[in-house]
Amino acid sequence: MTKDFIKNLIERKIYIKAVRFICAFKLVDKFPPVPLLKKYLENSRSSTKNSCKRKKSLEEKDKAANREIAALRDVLGCITDYNLETQFPPKDIERRVLELEKLKAERRNAASTSAVEVGPKQPDVKKCDNSGSARKQQAQPQNRNKRARTAVSTVRPHAMPVPAHGGHGHFGYAGNYSLSPYLGAGQQFVRNHYLFHF
């Protein structure tokens, strides 16, 4: 009955539990425990390698390493509990645990270093287009010049004094008026060489 149960565990690859039953029931001669422990470690290591080869996240790779570390420690526990050191020296197992711990630390450091180098993404800042304001500033002096020229052009020149002449329609100097030849839009008359606007 116990033998069948142990065979069933071995077929299902539940090696650690099978080894504990083997050693507990003193069936070491029927089921050697060391080959089972080595198979267990081989399967665990193969699973870790496959996980690292695939493009997986850092968290998934750490989980695979942690599973192998747990398997290694299970084997170490069996070796210590059942005095199997002579058949299966634990040195190589302990070395492998240290390698995996170091590998995990290196991956974390590499990930943190790359995150610091890249840094947070800066938001896009649109450059101010100063061309429009520059054109407006250039246009303002031009507009002022145009207004100045327009103001100058609308000012009519003052009528010059015109001496009065004798003849029809004209009067002399003393208290008389003479029609200016420089009449603008309004009526402009000259008296004694001075311009009067009406």
Q: What is the pLDDT along the chain (198 residues), one digit of tens a residue?
A: 799 999 999 999 999 999 999 999 999 999 999 999 999 999 999 888 887 776 678 888 888 899 999 999 999 999 999 999 999 999 999 999 999 999 999 988 888 887 666 555 555 555 545 555 555 555 555 555 555 454 444 444 444 444 444 444 444 444 444 444 544 444 444 444 444 443
Tell me the two tokens of residue 47: 């699973």
Type of residue at 89: P
Strand 177-179 relative to strand 194-197: parallel, antiparallel, unpaired?
unpaired
Nearest-10 Cα torsion for 163, 169, 173, 179: -50
Task: For residue 144, give Cα distances in angstroms to 4, 51, 94, 129, 131.
Answer: 109, 77, 90, 25, 20
Q: Tell me the backbone φ, ψ of residue 178, rounded to 5 degrees.
A: -135, 135
User: Would you state the pLDDT for residue 56?
Assistant: 73
What is the model's pTM?
Answer: 0.56
User: Would you state the pLDDT for residue 154?
Assistant: 46
